[in-house]
Structure 1
Amino acid sequence: MSVTVADGAAKATRREWIGLLILSIACLIYSMDLSVLFLAMPAIVADLDPSATQLLWINDIYGFMVAGFLVTMGTLGDRIGRRKVLLIGAFFFGAASVFAAFANTASMLIVARALLGIAGATIAPSTLSLVVNLFRDEHERNRAISVWGTAFALGGLIGPLIGGLLLQYFHWGSVFLINVPIMAALLASAPFLLPEYKDENAGRLDLFSVLLSLLTVLPVVYGFKKMAAEGFETVQLVPVLFGIGVGTIFVRRQKVLEHPMIDLALFQIPAFTASLMVNLAGVFFIFGIFLFQNLFLQLVIGLTPLKAALWSIPSSLVFTVMSFQAWRVTNRLGPVRTVLLGLVVNALGTGLMAIAAWHSSLIGVLGASMIMGLGFVPVILTTTGLIVGTAPPERAGSASAISETSAEFGGALGVAVLGSLGTLFYRFGMQDADLTGLSGSDQTSVTSALGTALEVARTTGNETAPWIDLAKASYAGGFALCCALATVTLLLLAAIAARVYARTELDESRIGGH
């Protein structure tokens, strides 16, 4: 996205570029925390012995708290100052990281991850706003935003790599302690390098809307988690229906507020809505599939955390290179063709991933991951521009906020929903397993999740039991099912988006690549 400024705007100095570096590293760390636990989960299971539901919450609560508070923190930053909100968030992010690193129960870790999410919600909107205000020249601003976006994307990819390196030599809590020096550097340098920014005309923060947004998301997710962990029961529909009911109230409230949290009028623009759905779906599937992939490498293939991280380097390099070069694709093909082609390539990658997962092929999974990167990165970067570019210029700020929230929510939702779907498939596959000789509690652990099943096998001396192979096959089957679902959904989205864009005249001068 770009913001037009007057010709002859002052060029950035070394101070601004150093400020960009600090902001990008902070954003990378914040994004990395969405994925850093992927490789640490087996160690956490062995140490804290979480239930299946707790295991999903440990993974998901960070992303959902980020999504729930993102718009809230953005509005608060407009009122009291973006730099001030960023510094407050950085302090609590560092403190919550220490709390998470030394958590000695699953419940403590869930609380720590929730606090990390709330603090992390201050970083994305604050860093982007400060980047925009650091760079007055339009060309430099677009380059700076591209660097910021690349840091955000890379965080989710290098999280498992860094996590694998640390887990090879240190306690699992080390994956949180790496946040502390980065946040300390931000606290020390930001007052000297970053300007303060606040919107004197910012709308009042509606605390009731904040509460309604959280009461919409969390009960629905909780209900689906319970279904996945314990099997379907009618009572589990209660929190889901409650969340949907609160969501209806939230939407109605946004329609009458003078300064709503979400500008619902934007959703009446077909191209905006289509771009937003493509963006959300892309992040939804990439985060969910990466969760499966990293656990698959350890639990099914049997790699150590370090080896799993090293095997993931090629696909990470594809994502990195594409993050810097995707603008060339957009400039050559145009935004619409870039999105449509990217969706098809991404669908090809997920289809190949489904086949590789079903056959438990290490090379197949990693090759498919690289193909997904080729399609995913141009789609996400281009739809971000389309989301802002298809909105009226006077609503570009609201469109940008919705885009950021969608990306955060999509990643968290992908981990939660696909993780729950995979758990359901695993439980179904383990229904007929012969668990003779195991206690009742051990049988429950074995049929709940592959990680806990392998831990039971290790502690009870059943590492060669027949049900181990069945457990691995059930996990691989759930992985394949989610990838197949991704393939169908992405192709369907491509068809819908093609029809919507064909009926819309796009001003491509507002949607250029960075």
Structure 2
Amino acid sequence: MDIRQQTLAIDEATAPRAGAREWVALAVLMLPVLLVSIDNTVLAFALPQISLALEPDAAQQLWMVDAYALVLAGLLVAMGSLGDRFGRRRMLLIGATGFAVVSVLAAFAPTASALIAARAALGLFGAMLMPSTLSLLRSTFPHRDQRRLAIAVWATAFSVGSALGPTVGGLLLEHFAWGSVFLMAVPVLLPLLVLAPLLVRESRDPAPGPIDPLGIALSIAALGALAATIKHVAVEGPDLLAVALLAVAIVAGLGFARRMRSVDEPMLDLDLLRVPAFSGAIAINLLSVVALVGALFFLTQHLQLVEGLSTLDAALLLVPGTIAMVLAGLGVVRIVRHVPAHRVVAVGLASSMAGYLLVALAGDALSPLHVAIAYVLLGAGVGAAETLSNEIVVSTAPPAKAGAASAVSETAYELGAVLGTAVLGGIVSAVYRASIALPDGVASADADAARETLAGALDVAERVQGELGAGIAEAARAAFDQGALWTALTGAALMAAAIVVALRALRRA
């Protein structure tokens, strides 16, 4: 039986429909989804306070954001495969316990290096959580219509969690220290640990093959090295280390592909990647997340450090975009019954592109109102695209390999988070450093600090004060907005590419 036949077999109209217990279980499964996705972007608002408290340099500042996503991306396929074998609910509970414990350690990290290490550990346990949640939906909702709605809720929670990161961070930072953005994991995960064993049925591959340590190691090496290459090039530029990392990623990736072809029971069926709908949906996942995370990286800093809004006011300004993301994610479930999926996804991506173009056209005159409208357009597009692309991924894969297939989708998500911060954030930082024109009379050490980050420049300006301090602040804000302009144009180009992918690859989805 081929992949398409297997998919049709489980999607018959006679498949059992979920009852009240399954829908309550869906609510429980949303808790780790919200938490892990919030953790991807929660540092966006906390970075200024963390920078002042821990005094990281520019590279450490990016590592604080990226360490989590790098580890998560490297381990997702391996953890998804292990969940298929040992039990997806079991993997979910182990991940939840570890995530809660490490979150407490992150909240009280004394140095930038300690925080980076804690973020990496959170990535390890997050990799146990995410494939489990999406793959459990496949077994919990065998009926296609119900599963589509459940995945719409899942995808909406994932996207909304990313969008809520800055909002939640803003609300917490208005009243508490920066460590509070990590402590919130504890009250979120405790209900999961209590309710999941009662409501969520265990699910696993009924006929798992033997554990493949070599395949797991190759997948970690390939994905981890690829993510590290992207991160390094964005911060340091292309150099010998970047070439070495890329070589490791390529060699390990080829070795992984060869391994999957040679074993009788591969943990990932590479034939899935030959299905245009599957590979196209993965690409759209990646590009959508690049757009969302990249926008949050520079828009939140613009609102706080350029416009001078408080953390809470800046967070509340993004709430309409979050609402638009929810409505679009749920609304497409009805629309796709009457309009082909590829057209719905393309229209959503066009909305995201329009949001980026609005930021670019505003240029130096970018105001809080511009940001709010642009984020509504971006959020609506991402909500629609993520819902349908994730549903296509899960429905295309054989049910026995749902964990591994889900992990591929979420690997694209995490690589997108790395790319969003590293590439789009890297463009902001690079243009900022290249275009900042500091006034004469700034001490050498202060000039170096001012050229590193916008937050560093404003800290120098506050210490120097007077006319010189005002000149430093004005030059830094102008340079940052120049970086935002080029980043917005790049984001719009990425959305245009995603539209082409949707129209071509998803046509038969």
Judged with a 3 Å threshold, the aligned counterparts in structure 2 of structure 1 residues 276 and 144 are, in CA distance, closer, same or farther, namely closer
* Alpha carbons of structure 1 residues 385 and 145: separation in structure 2 relative to 1, 3 Å: closer
Kept after mapping to 2: 8 A contact 1:347/1:490: yes
Give the unaligned 5+ runs of structure 2.
1-6
- What are the within-5 Å matches in structure 2 for residues 336-351 of structure 1? 336-351=342-357
1:99, distance to aligned residue in structure 2 (A): 0.6
Is it true that 1:436 corresponds to 2:429 in the alignment? Answer: no
Select between 337-346 and 384-393 the one with higher mean Cα deviation.
384-393
Determine if the alignment matches structure 1 residue 449 to structure 2 residue 456: no
Is the aligned partner of 1:214 residue 2:216?
no
**Aligned partners of 2:228, 2:447: CA distance in 1, in Å?**
24
Does the aligned pair in 2 maintain the 1:335–1:386 contact within 8 Å?
no
Displacement after TM superposition at 1:411 (Å): 2.3
SS in 2 for 1:7: coil
State the one-letter code of the partner of 1:307. D
Q: 1:231: Cα distance to partner?
A: 5.9
Q: Are positions 1:247 and 2:262 aligned together?
A: no
Equivalent position amino acid for 1:9 in 2: P
State the Cα RMSD in Å: 2.7
Deviates more, 1:74-83 or 1:242-251: 242-251
Q: Is the 8 A contact 2:268 2:401 kept in 1?
A: no
Q: Does residue 490 of the first structure (1) align with residue 495 of the second (2)?
A: yes
Of the three residues 6, 9, 24, the one matched with 2:16 is 9
Post-superposition shift, 1:51? 1.2
Q: Distance in 2 between matches of 1:392 and 1:84?
A: 21
Contact 1:75–1:202 (CA<8 Å) still a contact in 2? no
Distance in 2 between residues matched to 1:435 and 1:326, nearest whole Å: 56
Q: Are 1:314 and 2:333 counterparts? A: no
Kindly, what percent of the aligned residue pairs are identical? 37
Partner of 2:137: 131
In the alignment, the residues of structure 2 paired with residue 19 and residue 499 of structure 1 have an alpha-carbon distance, to the nearest angstrom, of 36
Separation (CA, whole Å) in 2 of partners of 1:311 and 1:349 = 15
Q: Which amino acid aligns with 2:369?
A: I
3-state DSSP of counterpart to 1:436: coil
**CA deviation map 1:76-107 (0-9, x unaligned):** 11222222211111110000100110001001
Question: Closer, same or farther in 2 for the Cα pair 1:239/1:354, shift >3 Å?
Answer: same
Deviation at residue 251 of structure 1 after TM alignment: 3.4
Give the aligned partner of residue 475 of structure 1.
Answer: 480
Partners of 1:231 and 1:412 lie apart in 2 by 16
State the 1:483 CA deviation.
1.5
Instruction: State the alpha-carbon separation in 2 of the partners of residues 138 and 272 from structure 1.
Output: 17
Q: 2:69·2:414 contact (CA, 8 Å) conserved in 1?
A: yes
Q: Using the alignment, how far apart are the partners of 2:400 and 2:84 within structure 1?
A: 17
How many angstroms does 1:5 deviate by?
Answer: 5.8
Change (3 A) 1:236 1:339: closer
Q: Report the 3-state secondary structure (helix = DSSP H, G, I; strand = E; otherwise coil) of the residue aligned with 1:291.
A: helix
Looking at structure 2, the residues matched to 79 and 134 of structure 1 have their Cα atoms a distance apart, in angstroms, of 17
SS of the residue aligned with 2:41? coil
Aligned to 2:169: 163
- AA aligned opposite 1:300: V
Q: What amino acid is the match of 1:461?
A: Q
TM-aligned CA distance change 1:210 to 1:155, over 3 Å: same
> Is there any run of 5+ residues in structure 1 with no aligned partner, and where?
none
Match of 1:94 in 2: 100
How big is the shift at 1:499? 4.3
Q: CA deviation at 1:232?
A: 5.9
For structure 1, which segment, 204-213 or 74-83, has the greater mean C-alpha deviation from structure 2 after superposition? Answer: 204-213
Match of 1:408 in 2: 414
Q: Deviations 1:396-426 (Å, cap 9, x if unpaired)?
A: 7754442232223222322222112221111
Contact 1:79-1:199 within 8 A present in 2 as well: yes
Structure-1 separation of matches of 2:238 and 2:131: 38
* Conserved? CA contact 2:284–2:501, under 8 Å: no
* CA distance in 2: counterparts of 1:275 and 1:222, whole angstroms: 24
* Residues 168-247 of structure 1 mapped to structure 2, 5 A cutoff: 168-230=174-236, 236-247=242-253
What is the Cα deviation at residue 488 of structure 1? Answer: 2.1
Aligned mates of 1:222, 1:276 — CA distance in 2: 20
TM-score normalised by length of structure 1? 0.89
* Deviation at residue 159 of structure 1 after TM alignment: 1.5
Alpha carbons of 1:413 and 1:94: their partners in 2 closer, same or farther (altered >3 Å)? same
Task: Describe the shift of the 1:491–1:359 C-alpha distance in structure 2 as closer, same or farther (beyond 3 A).
Answer: same
1: CA distance, partners of 2:230 / 2:346:
31
Residue 331 of structure 1 aligns to a residue whose secondary structure is: coil
The answer to whether residue 465 in structure 2 is matched with residue 461 in structure 1 is yes
Shift, 1:127, TM fit? 2.0
Identify if the C-alpha distance between structure 1 residues 233 and 409 changes in structure 2 by more than 3 Å, giving closer, same or farther.
closer
Query: CA offset at residue 176 of structure 1?
Result: 0.7
Q: CA deviation at 1:139?
A: 4.3
1:255-266 alignment runs, 5 A limit: 255-266=261-272
Counterpart code for 2:91? V
One-letter amino acid of the structure 1 residue matched with residue 460 of structure 2:
V
Number of residues of Structure 1 aligned to a counterpart in Structure 2: 501
Counterpart position of 2:308:
302
Matching residue of 1:426: 432
What letter matches 1:326 in structure 2?
A: V
Work out the CA distance in 1 between the residues paired with 2:86 and 2:405. 21
Give the 5 Å matches for 1:3-152. 3-4=10-11, 7=14, 9=16, 11-13=18-20, 15-135=21-141, 138-152=144-158
